[in-house]
Chains A and B, each alone.
Chain A
Amino acid sequence: MKPLLRVRGLEAQYGLLKVLHGIDFDIGEGSVTTLLGANGAGKTTTLRALCGMVRHSGTIDFDGVDLTRRRTEDIVRLGIAHVPEGRGTFTSLTVEENLQLGAMTRRQGSEIEEDIRRIYRFFPRLEERSGQQAGTLSGGEQQMLAVGRALMLRPRLMLLDEPSFGLAPLIVREVFAILADIRDNMGVSMLIVEQNASLALELADEAYLIETGEIALSGPAAEIRDNESVRNSYLGY
């Protein structure tokens, strides 16, 4: 089957510092792929490169469209929603305005209203706080808002950068359960960058392990999860 996203020889750099040294990976339609690795391995940079937020080269093919020369705004318009590191909340705007912003590239007002109600059914706590300044939400609520905002795009692919970051274990469970729900019921493909490997491997279908800017290992998530030597040497659990 032809993958939704096909990345070949992706290199990226900040100024003179090269961070990615030609990585290859695929994301299948409707599946969850996870990118694991230590701090500074290049996970966030990979996501930023996909969205044209850092200088990069190589080929990025999204359903037949080449993303390498496109600007961030235009990549989003193709249906790629990026939930960035730190969640990218518009802290001074209300929760509802944050959700409306997620649908900024869409046209039909009535459908957008309907989607906001759908997101509220998904995250009842966001509805309780709809008129509140988003910066006053707790970390978990902000993560839910970030996922909700991404869904408002009706994305084909969601890129999530450390969705577990800074959250209490119970909340992390909740967030990942929601992500599984989104994949199963909405058919949204995802690329999840995580430091919490055990959790990400539970959710993911495919996994890639990145080490100092290169793919060190890849395969079905279940295999990697069950391979003790890999777990010991790479994932540390």
Chain B
Amino acid sequence: METFFQQVLGGIATGGIYACMALAVVMIYQAIHHLNLAQGEMAMFSTFIAWQLLQWGFPYWAAFVLTLGISFAGGFLIERVVLKPLENAPVLSHLVIFIALYAIFNSLAGFIWDFTVKPFPSPFGTAALFGEGLIGAHQAGMILVTLIVLFLLFAFFRYTRVGLAMRAAAANPESARLVGIRVGTMAALGWGMAASIGAVAGIMIAPVVFLEPNMMLSILLYGFAGAVLGGLTSPGGAVFGGFAVGVIENLAGTYIPVVGAELKLPIALALIVVVLVIKPNGLFGRTVVQRV
């Protein structure tokens, strides 16, 4: 029984990271209706920036906040410079851009910081909590940080005018322009915020998977799985999906003998396929109700 709780808690901890990635993916999906394949690499690059700041002697939380700010600016700029000119371009152009961004960030990180695996510090330490090792201190910290991020985002979208404007711009761009919302700026804000959320995910997971240019590949796949499971149109659903994927991954790895550590990743892919076949909108994705 203790193993079970251990695995569930561990699943919630990594699930929080998947939830952040899923949320970042959904935010950009809402604005441009495509999956940003480069989301993981952007997060990885942010994590390297944090690592560099730490190397230069910044205190941990200063580096954390600074990295979030830099990532926000970076995401904002990417939208303005790279995606805005392609506003009305066909799907494939976006896809090519995403693959290009993926390759650029991956190679750039390798070029600047090389491909050797680096340890990344945890602000929470590595001690086991509650003596019996039910959950590690870093895992507990991960859960706490993701919950704070998710709460702040919820409050932002629910209670601020900019949040409302962003929701409106995503839901109905033409009407949004007609009430004076600068839809393009809102999309760029969305990119900036998605980049910052990705940075949180990267910084929090780096002590677990270690820092290297390919660290986010599987994380992003789990994030996609979470987003698809919860529904690409539902930020709350994506968060739930992320947590669910983390728990499912851990339990399957523990209790299904053939799965083990090696076959954990295909579980994410299998999950995507199953959800798309049975419930293409995801668990919480909605078809908007409309009467005419």
Contact = CB atoms under 8 A, between A and B. Distances in A.
A22 to B, nearest CB: 26
B80 to A, nearest CB: 16
A120 to B, nearest CB: 18
A90 B175 contact: yes
Contact of B172 (A88, A139, A153, A166): A88
A92 B291 contact: no
B164 interface: yes
B288 A91 contact: yes
B114 interface: no
Contacts of B171: 90-93
Interface centre among B172, B180, B292 (most CB of A within 10 A): B180
Contacts of A101: 164-165, 168, 176, 179, 181
B165 A104 contact: yes
B178 A84 contact: yes
A135 B165 CA distance: 18
B142 to A, nearest CB: 32
B164 A73 contact: no
Interface string B150-189: 0000000000010011011001101111111111000000
B290 A76 contact: no
A126 B164 CA distance: 19
Contacts of A105: 179-180
A100 B168 CA distance: 11
A88 to B, nearest CB: 4
Given A97-B164, A101-B165, A101-B168, A135 B288 contact: yes
Interface in B244-266: none
B178 A77 contact: no
Contacts of B291: 135-139
B167 A88 contact: no
A102 B161 CA distance: 11
A153 B178 CA distance: 10
Interface residues of B, number: 23
Given A92-B171, A104-B161, A104-B165, A72 B289 contact: no
Nearest to A52: B177
Interface string A88-120: 111111000100111011000000000000000
A56 interface: no
Interface residues of A, number: 30
A51 interface: yes
A51 B178 contact: yes
A43 interface: no
A136 B174 CA distance: 20
A92 B180 contact: no
Interface string B124-148: 0000000000000000000000000
B172 A133 contact: no
A89 B175 contact: yes
Interface centre among A77, A88, A92, A102 (most CB of B within 10 A): A92
A73 B182 contact: yes
Contacts of A91: 171-172, 288-290
A143 to B, nearest CB: 12
Contacts of B172: 88-91
A49 to B, nearest CB: 14
A183 to B, nearest CB: 21
A100 B164 CA distance: 9
Contacts of B177: 53, 72-73, 76
Given A89-B175, A100-B161, A101-B164, A153 B288 contact: no
Interface centre among B167, B177, B182, B286 (most CB of A within 10 A): B177
Interface of B: 161, 164-165, 167-168, 171-172, 174-183, 286, 288-292
- Leading 7 A-B pairs by shortest Cβ distance: A105-B180, A88-B175, A76-B180, A72-B177, A135-B290, A101-B179, A82-B178
24 contacts: A53-B177, A72-B177, A72-B178, A73-B183, A76-B179, A77-B180, A82-B178, A84-B174, A91-B290, A92-B286, A97-B168, A100-B161, A100-B164, A101-B165, A102-B179, A104-B165, A104-B168, A104-B179, A104-B180, A104-B181, A105-B180, A133-B289, A135-B291, A136-B291
Interface of A: 51, 53, 72-73, 76-77, 81-82, 84, 88-93, 97, 100-102, 104-105, 133, 135-139, 149, 153, 166
Given A51-B178, A136-B289, A166-B292, 15 more contacts: A72-B178, A73-B181, A76-B178, A76-B179, A76-B180, A91-B288, A93-B167, A100-B164, A102-B179, A104-B161, A104-B164, A104-B181, A105-B179, A133-B289, A137-B291
